Chains A and B, each alone.
Chain A
Amino acid sequence: MNLTIQVEVNGKKHKSTVEARQLLVYYLRDQLRLTGTHIGCDTSSCGSCTVMIDGMAVKSCTMLAAQADGCAITTIEGLAKKGELHPLQEGFHQEHGLQCGFCTPGMIMTAVDLLSKNPEPTEMDIRHALEGNFCRCTGYHNIVRAVQFASAKMKEMEVASV
């Protein structure tokens, strides 16, 4: 069975036909060709597929594309604005928060959610927030530092804009 959905992805509106059983992650990857969102497991355990849906981090393998009808979605491709890296993207680069890069988009999107709710998290806040995302390369050490970098940078930007 096919359904028609309307979604806004990275600021762009799409009207698409999807199979009823289609998972959101496959819709993003296969139909919209936004392949920055990755698939690392089939049990919603690894977090590689995390995207923002209406401002909340969601594992896009956990929901159907049809359930996203009417939603605004941000994927890793939509995070940098006007070519300017998001502070989290910059943090991952500056603090060597990635190695193979496969978990990175999901990590970053989860961290976006954390910092939107808790702009100055402690180390343990960060670790708890990221516990739904596996990284097999970094040992998490530099990922924590990357989020700390972004937190400090966002605060700096806020101060500067006041």
Chain B
Amino acid sequence: MCSLIGQSVKRVEDKRFITGKGKYTDDIVLPDMTHAYIMRSPYAHANILKIDTSKALAMEGVVAVFTGEDIAKAGINGVPCGWQVNFNTGETMKEPPHPLLVKDKVLHAGDSVAIVIAESRELAVDAAELVEIDYEELPCVTDPFKAIQDGAPLVHDIAPNNKCFVWELGDRQKTDDHIAKSHHVTTLEFVNQRMVPNAIEPRAAIGDYDIAHDKHTLYTTSQNPHLIRLLMCAFVLGLPEHKVRVVAPDVGGGFGSKIFHYTEEALVTWASKQIGRPVKWVAERSESFITDAHGRDHVTKAEMGFDKDGNVMALRVRTAANLGAYLSTFGTAVPTYLHGTLLQGLYTTPAVHVEVTGAFTHTNAVDAYRGAGRPEATYVLERLMETAAKEMGVDPAELRLKNFIPPFDGITQPGYQTQVALQYDSGNYHAVLERALEMVDYKGFRKEQAEARKQGKYLGIGISTYIEACGIAPSAVVGSLGARAGLFESSQVRIQPTGKVSVYTGSHSHGQGHETTFAQVVADKFGISMNDVEIIHGDSDSVAFGMGTYGSRSLAVGGSAIVKSIEKVLQKGAKIAAHKLEAAEADLEYAGGRWTVKGTDKSIGFGDVALTAYVPHDYPQGLEPGLDFSSFYDPTNFTYPYGAHIAVVEVDIETGKTTLKRFIACDDVGNVINPMIVDGQIHGGVVQGIGQALFEEAIYDSNGQLITGSYMDYTMPRADDVPMFEVDRTVTPCPHNPLGVKGAGEAGTIGSAPAVVNAVLDALSPFNIKDMNMPLTPQKVWKAIHNK
């Protein structure tokens, strides 16, 4: 039987989705279920003067209306932040509460004020029209840089100048010295714009209280149901965890936005007990726009110093990062530990220093969006590299290759210690860029570009390289950095008496294809058919524990936990096999689903050993029956995927419109279990990065209204906006996890945006435009060309 690892096995989960049999949260209907509509603040900043619910309550079909007053009376806490980031002075970060429903003062447009529960969704919406709320509007601030200036409207009294923290990493003095001594310094000031994740399935939650068992069930669109249960029980509702079940059934995309514990989850859980009936809430898209945690939103000044030979001497970065009005679950970690720590990039820069000010504003919360901090870091590095090459008159590919960290495998050669805390695991960075340059025919392109220019066509090429820290993470490390949770993963591998295998994983699949990839690993290790393996995830009542799926961690951490359990099964199985074969365990070898006595034809199959474990008549003395193991895996380091992306564009200078002609991605994600799925992750990630580069932007007006708050206003890439992708990879295994895998979920998004921006600016090089803020819309490009 050939190895299943490395095969593009077609996905086992597809069947239900292509036949319309997927089961998403909104597809669930429970007996006697009610429907909730959440009333949200129309103002960015306002005092609530009065709420009158009497007319709504009097309407036929209305079951209940709850306000912030009710939540406060019930003694319910707000949703917590999961990561403590301190000031560089050692002072603790400012951590205001985030109530489920606001009582006195709303802090962003979309802030929750009341929940109306009725017999149908339509009635709940109708009844909400009858709730009278008087607001007194207050001045607001939405830009993170403006927010931290003196005199800006204050979001929280406890946070002067709207500063949640001022955090730094790296050697400030050394970096300042190196910059001062540099032969050339490239400086950029830019905005990494706010993004809306926009999973196509809107968020939804159903609370279902069962009085007979005094038990709560929450169905929710989550990437990590166990974490939701933990946070909701321990911090918000004060419920005993064993009396709460959280189920994340099929989930229609997450991209980070479904990691976090949202107020609605706790609200429907609590409300269900109050009314004694299930409560369903489903976000409208316009509601998703103003309440799903957004991404990015950095205002940055970055300087890169070079010596006279073009070696990078130093990198200095100053960023104001928008956190929104409230701290989302990982909102504080993203602009700090997931951003600052990646500023080494692939380069040997001997001095790096970054200072990030976390700013409260009157906007929706900002948290992890695909890439989470790492796209922001990559954008800083790759825009600086490109601009520096242009300023110094050297080739941008050559400048990168010159400054790359030399190859190291992490086994015979040590990992690479960066200036910003991390130790890279293994890498051959030259190889990915050289391969990408070969794929695009870099030299040939320059000729084509020159020819095209003569004919009035503006072609451009843009390179970006990246490295990311994935497989998050070693619990002790993140704990020392302020994480309030461990970041291990759990697994249970249960061998059924007939030799069929049920695998329970704390990772959650919402598009990643775990039901296939994980089954490939299990079937391969046991030497059995994939048809005999079932992957179970997403239900806290069946899976013992889990930290969920984000940070490209599922295979590196969740997969490793499964491998640990597999090894335990095989160890015990060997004892049973040795007994049955009347041989010493040391004389057995396991292959193709059988234990064989070496050098003989005596063997016993996996299924027979499984049966023996459950019908232990003829059985090793002292050995427990059963064949069922669980494991927890806590990685020893992050994993570090990396790659090189190249975009080729044509800019129509009459209209400013950019056409993406080619996109090349050469990534190294370590070993690959299913190339088809990895390629799919890269394609999707790349398009989200292209979306940021060319199309997408969450724009707040001066009143704090999100004016790109619908699909009519917020431009996302459509099928005719992108080309077919040219994808390849190199393989440098991760040295510290059993599968040698590094993670592929975010790579595409991290590498692609700067490549596209660099390509557009390359196309426009005759116009001498140094920089433009994303998204590079036709209007913006046209204005830049015409110096408007």
Residues of A near any B CB (own CB < 8 A)? 19, 21, 29, 33-43, 45-46, 48, 75-77, 79-80, 85, 89, 92-94, 96, 98-105, 108, 123-124, 126-128, 130-144
Count of A-B contacts with CB under 8 A? 176
B1 within 8 A of A: no
Contact A140 B711 (CB under 8 A): no
Q: Tell which of A33, A35, A103 has the most Cβ of chain B within 10 Å.
A: A35
Residues of chain B within 8 A of A93, CB atoms compared: 10-11, 14-15, 18
Complex: A13 Cα to B538 Cα, angstroms = 37
Query: Counting CB contacts under 8 A, is B586 at the interface?
Result: no
Residues of B within 8 A of A124 (CB): 720
* CB–CB A40/B285 < 8 A: yes
Closest CB-CB distance, A4 to chain B, in whole Å? 19
Scan residues 100-154 of chain B and give those whose CB is less than 8 A from a CB of chain A.
122
**Interface members, chain B 70-119 (any A CB < 8 Å):** none
- In the bound assembly, the distance between CA atoms of A19 and B11 in angstroms comes to 40
Query: Does B725 sit within 8 A of A, measured CB to CB?
Result: yes
Closest 7 CB pairs of A and B: A36-B20, A102-B252, A101-B17, A100-B511, A45-B711, A99-B511, A76-B20
Indicate if the CB atoms of A101 and B511 lie closer than 8 Å. yes
B27 lies within 8 A of chain A by Cβ: yes
Give the chain B neighbours of A38 by CB distance below 8 A.
Answer: 24, 26, 200-201, 252
Q: Is the CB of B10 within 8 A of A141?
A: no
* A48–B26 alpha-carbon span in the complex (Å): 14
Q: Given the interface contacts A34-B20, A41-B711, A77-B20, does A131 sit within 8 Å of B720 by beta carbon?
A: yes
Distance in angstroms between the alpha carbons of A138 and B200 in the assembled complex: 12
Give the residues in chain A near B527, CB-CB below 8 Å. none
Residue pair A141, B718 in contact (C-beta under 8 Å): no
- Give the residue name and chain of the A residue nearest to B681 (CB): A99
Bound Cα distance A132, B721 (Å): 12
Residue of A nearest to B676 (CB): A96
**Set of chain A residues within 8 Å of B24, measured between Cβ atoms:** 35, 38, 102
Task: Pick the most buried of B21, B201, B685, B748: most chain A CB atoms within 10 A of its CB.
Answer: B201
Expressed in whole angstroms, the Cα–Cα distance for A102 and B26 within the complex equals: 11
CA distance A33 to B20 in the complex (A): 11
User: Is B199 positioned at the interface, with any CB of A under 8 Å from its CB?
Assistant: yes
Evaluate contact between A39 and B684: CB separation under 8 angstroms: no
Using CB atoms, name the residue of chain A closest to B285. A41
**B419 interface residue (CB < 8 Å to A):** no
Residues of B within 8 A of A98 (CB): 14, 17-18
Given that A35-B20, A99-B684, A126-B719 are known contacts, is A139 also in contact with B252, CB under 8 Å in the complex?
A: no
Check: B722 CB closer than 8 A to any chain A CB. yes
Contact between chains at B722 and A140 (CB < 8 Å):
yes
Q: Give min CB distance, A112 to chain B, whole Å.
A: 12
Taking a contact as CB atoms under 8 Å apart, the answer to whether A139 and B19 are in contact is no
Q: Is B607 interfacial (CB-CB < 8 Å)?
A: no
A3 to B632, CA, bound (A): 57
B202 within 8 A of A: yes
Assembled-state Cα–Cα distance A79/B18 (Å) = 10
Report Cα–Cα, A4/B422, bound state, in Å.
66
Task: Confirm or deny: B636 has a beta carbon within 8 angstroms of a beta carbon on chain A.
Answer: no
Does B22 count as interface, using CB distance less than 8 angstroms?
yes
| Complex Cα gap A135–B253 (Å) | 10
A73 to B12, CA, bound (A): 29
Residues of B within 8 A of A76 (CB): 18-20
Complex CA gap A97/B677 in Å reads: 10
B252 & A19 in contact (Cβ 8 Å cutoff): no
Taking a contact as CB atoms under 8 Å apart, the answer to whether B20 and A138 are in contact is no
Contact A42 B286 (CB under 8 A): yes
Interface of A is mostly: loop
Q: Smallest Cβ distance from B555 to chain A, in angstroms? A: 15
Contact of A138 among B18, B286, B684 (CB under 8 A): B684
Partner pick for A135 among B18, B200, B676, CB 8 A cutoff: B200
Which B residues are CB-close (under 8 A) to A40? 200-202, 252, 285
**Measured between C-beta atoms, what is the minimum distance from B235 to chain A in Å?**
29
Chain B, 700-716, CB within 8 A of any chain A CB: 710-712, 716
- State whether the Cβ of B281 lies closer than 8 Å to any Cβ in chain A: no
A92 and B676 CA atoms in complex are apart in Å by: 13
Closest to B710 in A: A43
Asked if residues B712 and A43 are in contact (CB atoms below 8 Å), the reply is: yes
Separation in Å of the B554 CB from the closest CB of chain A? 13
Q: How far is the CA of A14 from the CA of B712 in the complex (A)?
A: 34
- Nearest CB in chain A: distance from B128 CB, A: 15
Interface of B is mostly: loop
In the bound complex, residues from chain B placing their C-beta under 8 Å from that of A79 are: 19
Contact string against A for B residues 511-539, beta-carbon threshold 8 Å, 1 for contact and 0 otherwise: 11100000000000000000000000000
B residues less than 8 Å from A104 (CB atoms)? 17-18
Knowing A98-B17, A102-B253 touch, does A42 contact B719 (C-beta < 8 A)?
no
Which of A124, A128, A137, A138 has the most B CB atoms < 10 Å from its CB? A137
B122, B200, B286: the one contacting A48 at CB < 8 Å is: B200
Please determine whether A77 and B719 come into contact, CB atoms closer than 8 angstroms: no
In the complex, the chain A residue whose C-beta lies closest to that of B21 is: A36
Instruction: Report the bound CA distance from A97 to B200 in whole Å.
Output: 15
Closest B residue to A92 by beta carbon equals B18
Q: Report 27 cross-chain contacts, Cβ distance below 8 Å, ordered by A residue.
A: A21-B122, A35-B27, A36-B21, A38-B201, A38-B252, A40-B200, A41-B710, A42-B284, A43-B710, A76-B19, A85-B18, A96-B679, A99-B680, A100-B199, A100-B510, A100-B511, A101-B250, A102-B200, A128-B719, A136-B199, A137-B511, A138-B684, A139-B748, A140-B718, A140-B722, A141-B725, A142-B683
* Chain B residues with CB under 8 A of A139: 683-687, 717, 722, 725, 748
A residues near B26, Cβ cutoff 8 Å: 35, 38-39
Which residues of B179-224 have CB atoms within 8 Å of chain A's CB atoms?
198-202
Among B18, B21, B687, B711, the most chain A Cβ lie within 10 Å of the Cβ of B18
Shortest CB distance B18–A (Å): 4
Instruction: Report if B734 contacts A (CB, 8 A).
Output: no
User: Does chain A have a CB within 8 A of B429?
Assistant: no
User: B562 at interface (Cβ–Cβ under 8 A)?
Assistant: no
In-complex Cβ contact of B200 among A75, A100, A123 (8 A): A100
Question: How near does chain A come to B28, taking the closest CB pair, in angstroms?
Answer: 9
A144 to B683, CA, bound (A): 12
Residues in A neighbouring B606, C-beta threshold 8 A:
none
Is the Cβ of B711 less than 8 Å from the Cβ of A100? no
Residues from chain A with a CB closer than 8 A to the CB of B724 are 123, 141, 144
From 281 to 328 in chain B, residues with beta carbon under 8 angstroms from any chain A beta carbon are 284-286
Asked whether B285 lies within 8 Å of A43 as measured between CB atoms, the reply is yes
Q: Is B251 an interface residue (CB 8 A)?
A: yes
Q: Which residues of B contact A46 (CB under 8 A)?
A: 200, 285, 711
B688's closest neighbor in chain A, by CB?
A: A136
- Contacts known (A134-B711, A144-B724); A75 close to B20, Cβ less than 8 A: yes
- B719 touches which one: A21, A48, A89, A143 (CB < 8 A)? A143
> Closest CB of chain B to A100's CB: distance in Å?
3
**A138 CB, min distance to chain B CBs, angstroms:** 5
Partner of A128, one of B23, B680, B711, B720: B720
In the complex, what residue of chain A is closest to B252 when comparing beta carbons? A102
Cβ-closest chain A residue relative to B14: A93
Mask, B669-702, CB within 8 Å of A = 1, is 0000000110110011111100000000000000
B550 at the interface (CB under 8 A from A): no
With A38-B252, A102-B200 as known contacts, state yes or no: A134 contacts B720, CB within 8 Å.
no
The yes or no answer to B337 lying at the interface (CB within 8 A) is: no
Q: Is B255 an interface residue (CB 8 A)?
A: yes
Partner of B202, one of A39, A127, A136: A39
State whether A127 and B720 are in contact (beta carbons under 8 Å apart), knowing that A45-B711, A102-B24 are contacts in the complex: yes
A136 surroundings in chain B (CB, below 8 A):
198-200, 253, 255, 684, 688, 716
Compute how far the CA of A143 lies from the CA of B513 in the bound complex, rounded to whole angstroms. 16
- Contact A42:B285 (CB < 8 A) given known A98-B14, A101-B511: yes
Besides A21-B122, A131-B720, A139-B687, 5 other A-B contacts (C-beta < 8 A): A41-B711, A77-B21, A101-B14, A101-B16, A141-B724
Q: How close is A57's CB to chain B, nearest CB, in angstroms?
A: 14
The reply to whether B19 and A36 contact each other, CB–CB distance below 8 Å, is yes
